[in-house]
Structures are given as structure tokens and as C-alpha cells.
Structure 1
């Protein structure tokens, strides 16, 4: 098959491409690289004019401030439109979300129609913010979600601009068109599967693909200090509950001054990020999740003990009786208690590390996951 993967926010599509390629399929990825993360793409629609040239960036910001019009989105749409002659003859197209082109919704809809007219079929992957996910998070039916700080008025609405845009009429219309013209809907983890099922959508639950052939497992070697890593993305700081990790690390640093080393980074490219946490024994990911996202899974494959989403629903889904990750609650005291236990019981770090790698190999093997995608698309 000839397959087009549109959009990339976490390396999910790159890993899926590796699995599909191993199975003999030809795969092309189109995307922006997701700003500072700089993920690999085959064709880029990165808005370099309005991002890389300071005078045009200032002009873009001025226009947005005065009118609310985003020239960066226009440039992405323009660059995608220029690519369309090359994007024909695909057996399947997968959009990473309904806003995969990241242009204005009306423009994106026209681009999608052109794209679908010159290709066979498409599907929609739900692996992040999208119209039904945000709608369900606002319903209050979850004990917590990425919008909990918004609902509890602990953060300004401006911190949730990206998420809340999916409830605007134009984005709702875009989602409905994509959904109605998709051969299937795929969810990547329980944070999306649970809301979609609760809202009555028919979905294919397919875990994130992780290429364990290229990720080396490093068994924790704790001879001196326990290294704790926190990588901060300012754009998702509030939604991931990073403040709870920062508060916890302040306490841990004081409590175990001679036993821990803490590494904190901010907004670094993906390839640099994964190198920075190589020395770490513990990685702090997010607090508002039920399941693990791509970053957490990749760190688990490396043998890190990851503080992330690992709720009861997750354990039930995979029939787990022992922990493969730490369920990080949006609660500073709870995080401090979990960190303290690991620091005082380093053998538990080694045990969880081994189980984490085994879990990834069993449930997230990139070739087996690619096969599940092919089955869902057919």
C-alpha cells in the first residue's frame, strides 16, 4: 500500500511509518514538525516565513493582536496546497487529528476535499485534543482531565486557547466532515478511548507504536544519586499538571539533598530531549492522564520509572497485576510520597524498570501495532 500520514505531534506517526515500512508499505509523512520539537517529516509545511524571520514574526503578531487573524495558519495552508500535486495516488490517508493541516478551518476543509478527491480513503486518529475530547472533558464526567485546572478556575482561559478552539463552530464543522468522510476512527490510548466510547462513537483502540528495535534498554545502575528528570513544555504546562511536579521536586530536593540529582529542561527539540534524560532513573511526565502518551512509553522502553497516567482503567485494560509505571496524581503530597518510596527503596526502581520494558515489548511493538492499523483501515 501507499500511505500518507498527515500531522506529527509526538513521533507516533514516525514510529507507525517504521512499522508499516517494515511490512513492505510505502509511507509519506507531512507535517510542521511541531514547532520546537522538530519531528521528522518527508514533506514539511512548517511556516518558516512567519516563524524564522523576526520582522515577519513581529508583523504576524501585530496582525493577530489587531484582528485575531493568524498568518502562520495561512502559511501552513498555502504550503500544504502547494504540495497537493505530489499527494495523489495514496491507498490510505490518516489524519493525526481533524486540524492536521493546522490552517484556518474553512481553508483546511477545502484542502481536505481536494486531498480526498485524488486519493482512495482516509481515517482519523484521535490522539490528542479534538472536538469530542474537549466536549467530554468539559462535561465533568471524568474525575480529572487536562481541563481540570480550567474547570476549577485555577488557570486563566488563555492557557487553554488551543484546546477550547475545537468547540468553535468552524472547528466543529471541520471535525464532523472529517469524521463523516473517514473509513474509521482510531484512538491511541484510554484518555481518548474512554471519552469517545462514552459519547457513542465507534472506534478502533490501537495503542501507540514504539520501535523497541531502535530504543536500547538501560537497566538502572544506582551506585550514587538517584537522577530525576522533568522536561517542561510551556505550551502544555498547565494541562499536564507540571506545577505539581515542580512543587514535589522542591520538597524532595530538601528532603533527600544527598541522595538525588534533579534535571529540569524546557522547550528543547525532541532529539535533544531524549538524550537529556538518558542518565535519569525516574522521569516525570504528566498528572492528568489515565494512560501513557508517546513520551512516557518511549521512556518506559528505555527502562525509566515514569510518573504518568496509569489509572485503574489502564491496569484493567492490560490485565496488569504489578506496576509498570507510577500513576501520577494531580496532588503534590501523593507525588512526594511516591518519589520518597522509590528513593528509599531503589530495588523497586529496578523492578519497575524491567516490567516497563517488558510491557512495551508486549503491548506496543511497532510492527504488531502497524498490523492493527492495516486491519482497521480495511
Structure 2
């Protein structure tokens, strides 16, 4: 099978590409490196220059893009990580989407991040009890939530139009988090699947312990602290360390490249990540694969959607300072739980997120689409 993957959010597609290649498929991944994160681009790195602006930047980007795009033909599957799969505005993007649609067999849209349908459903539907847009019935009016609405619902630069077109026109939609699946279930249930995030298990620990102090870890993306709830989680963690300095310590990293982030994370006991999420993210799962406990999104729905009825390794928190503080306090005062939670974290990732298992789920989906061609 020939497979082309566009974009690599938090290494999702590069991990998937590795798993698919190990299954014997011909895989190519084209992506940028997501600003300062420097996520691996896998095959072809396509970045838009930031040292020039306006039409010059567009011309330079197209000069690199066009020769690459001419080779994006004859694939069985083309999978997009987002409707905005290139660093182009909607009016410029549409011809490129039409090209890959015309010259390849199937287009799959990955619901791996924000888009108009996600933000709209978070804002107006009852699909979720809380989200980036609402806490219960209360709409969030912080700067991050407002910016999301402006970008994905109120935008006038044709981005919303192309996003809706891609979602409607594609052959299938794959959601990687429960909350994305719940949102798209209200829009395109007939062509929607949930497939877990792929994690490459490296240096998997087999022994689990805790030192004199519980080592907490938090990574900060400066431009996304509010939307991810990092501001609230950071304040709770800092207060825990202030109130119980003999029981806990906190390591904070801010805007570091991905490889450095992974190294700094090593040796931590718990990570705080994604306050408003129902489901662990790539960073959370990476930490769990290393025997680090995730404090964040672990709602019952996230276990149910993967048919997990036994393991509960994630310390689930509600989207409030009080919930985060209470769970941290409980953890550091019951340190005897930590080794077992670490062990279960590793087992959870092995059971549901190993990149080879996830690749087989994608392979099954791809085969079903190709089989329908022959029916």
C-alpha cells in the first residue's frame, strides 16, 4: 500500500509512519517542524520561512512546495493531519487539496487538533461536560478561548470554508482523542473512526520506585498556557511545593525543542498536562511510557472508547485549581501508590498506544476503504 501523510503534530504521523513501514507499506510523511518544538519531519521537511514576510514569503514557500507536490500522485491513501494541512491561507490551499483529491485514491482527514467543527461543537453542543470553550454551561471568555473562536468560527480569510469543504469531501475522518471523536460524531458520524495515538516505546522501565520527594514535571508552551490550562496546573503545583516542600519538588520547562523536552522529563514521577482534556495527549503518553504518572485527562469516556475496563493509571482532574491541588496533595501524601501507578502507566501505553498496534488499526481502516473500491 502507498501512503502519504501530511503534517506531524506532536510526532503522531512520524510514529505512525514508522509502524506502517514496519508492516511493509510504502510511506512518505511531509511536514514542517512546528516552530520551536522541532518535531522530526520524517521524510520531507517543508517549512515556511519566518525571516521574510508577505508575498515574498508566499513565493518562496511555493517555490519549494510545487516540485514536491507534483510527486504527490498515485497514492492509495493520503492522510491530512488537519484541514489546513499546508502553511497557506484557504484561497491558496484549495487548489492543492483539489490536486491530491484528483490524483490519489482516498483522502482521510485526521481530527488531531482544532478546526471549525471542533470549536463549534465545543461551544454550542452538549458533546462534552467541559472543553477549551465551555465549563458546563459557562462559556469561557479568556483570551485563548476567544482567539479559538475568532480563528475557527469567525474568520473571514476563507480558512473556515476550506476546512468545512475538506471535512465534507474527504472519504473518512479519524479522531485521536475522545473529545474530537465526540465533536465529529455530531457532524459526520457515518464516516468517523477513533484510533488511539501512536507511541514508540523506548527504554521501557521494568522497576518502579519513588524517592524522598515526589518529582513533579510540567512543560509550558508560552503561547498556549491558557488554552491548555497550564497556568492553573502550574499554580497548583507551585503551591503544593510551597506548602509541602519536604514532600514534593517541581521541574518546569518552557519552549524547549522536543528532544530536549524528552531528556528533561526523565526521572520525573508525575507530569501535569492538558487540564481541559478527557484523554491523555502525546506528551502525556510519552511520559507514561517512561513510567511517569499522568495528572490530567483521564475521564471514564476515554477508557470506554478503547475498551479498557481494568487499568486506571491516569490521575484525572477536573478543570479547576482546587481539583488539581487536591489530587496532587493526595498523591504526595500516599506515596505508596506511586510505584503501582507507574507500572500501570507503562502497561496502559503498551496495551493501547504501541505504534505497531496503532498502525495495524490504521491499516485495517485503509484496507476497508480500498476494499469498498472493488465491491
Structures share fold, TM-score greater than 0.5: yes
Q: Distance in 2 between matches of 1:100 and 1:130?
A: 11
Q: Post-superposition shift, 1:185? A: 1.0
Q: Distance in 2 between matches of 1:15 and 1:335?
A: 31
Q: Which residue of 2 aligns with 1:306?
A: 294
Q: Which moved more, 1:346-355 or 1:218-227?
A: 218-227
Q: After superposition, where does 1:344-363 map in structure 2 within 5 Å?
A: 344-363=333-352
Q: 2:143 aligned to 142, 145, 156, which one?
A: 156
Q: What SS is found at the alignment partner of 2:70?
A: helix
Q: Which runs of 5+ in 2 are unaligned?
A: 370-375
- 1:19 correspondence with 2:19: yes
Q: Post-superposition shift, 1:361? A: 1.0
Q: Distance in 2 between matches of 1:3 and 1:223?
A: 46
Q: Which runs of 5+ in 1 are unaligned?
A: 64-69
Q: Distance in 1 between matches of 2:182 and 2:162?
A: 22
Give CA deviations for 1:12-39 in whole Å, capped at 9, x if unaligned. 1011011101101121111111111111
- 1:244 correspondence with 2:245: no
Q: What SS is found at the alignment partner of 2:350?
A: helix
Q: CA RMSD in A?
A: 2.3
Q: After superposition, where does 1:41-190 map in structure 2 within 5 Å?
A: 41=41, 42-48=43-49, 51=50, 53=51, 56=52, 60=53, 76=61, 78-139=63-124, 141=126, 142-148=128-134, 152-156=139-143, 160-161=146-147, 164-167=150-153, 168=155, 170-190=158-178
Give CA deviations for 1:52-107 in whole Å, capped at 9, x if unaligned. x4xx3xxx3xx6xxxxxx97677545532331123233221100010011310111
Q: Which residue of 2 aligns with 1:326?
A: 315
Q: What SS is found at the alignment partner of 2:74?
A: coil
Q: Post-superposition shift, 1:171? A: 2.5
Could you tell me whether the CA contact under 8 Å between 2:133 and 2:140 is conserved in 1? no
Could you tell me whether the CA contact under 8 Å between 1:95 and 1:122 is conserved in 2? yes
TM-aligned CA distance change 1:110 to 1:315, over 3 Å: same
- 1:191 correspondence with 2:192: no
Could you tell me whether the CA contact under 8 Å between 1:6 and 1:100 is conserved in 2? yes
Q: Which moved more, 1:171-180 or 1:225-234?
A: 171-180
TM-aligned CA distance change 1:315 to 1:11, over 3 Å: same
Q: Following superposition, which runs of at least 4 residues in structure 1 exceed 6 angstroms of deviation?
A: none
Q: Which residue of 2 aligns with 1:36?
A: 36
Q: Distance in 2 between matches of 1:137 and 1:99?
A: 19
Could you tell me whether the CA contact under 8 Å between 1:77 and 1:108 is conserved in 2? no
Q: What SS is found at the alignment partner of 1:238?
A: helix
What TM-score do the two structures reach when normalised by structure 2?
A: 0.89
Q: 2:355 aligned to 366, 369, 372, which one?
A: 366
Q: Distance in 1 between matches of 2:118 and 2:325?
A: 30
Q: Distance in 1 between matches of 2:125 and 2:114?
A: 16
Q: How many aligned residue pairs are there?
A: 360
Q: Post-superposition shift, 1:242? A: 0.9
- 1:9 correspondence with 2:5: no
Give CA deviations for 1:124-146 in whole Å, capped at 9, x if unaligned. 11011012101101115232111
Q: What SS is found at the alignment partner of 1:47?
A: coil
TM-aligned CA distance change 1:313 to 1:195, over 3 Å: same
Give CA deviations for 1:189-237 in whole Å, capped at 9, x if unaligned. 201111111334330111111122x352364432322110010012221
Q: Post-superposition shift, 1:120? A: 2.6
Could you tell me whether the CA contact under 8 Å between 2:237 and 2:328 is conserved in 1? no
TM-aligned CA distance change 1:376 to 1:74, over 3 Å: farther
Q: 1:273 aligned to 238, 251, 261, which one?
A: 261
Q: What SS is found at the alignment partner of 1:186?
A: strand
Could you tell me whether the CA contact under 8 Å between 1:210 and 1:366 is conserved in 2? yes
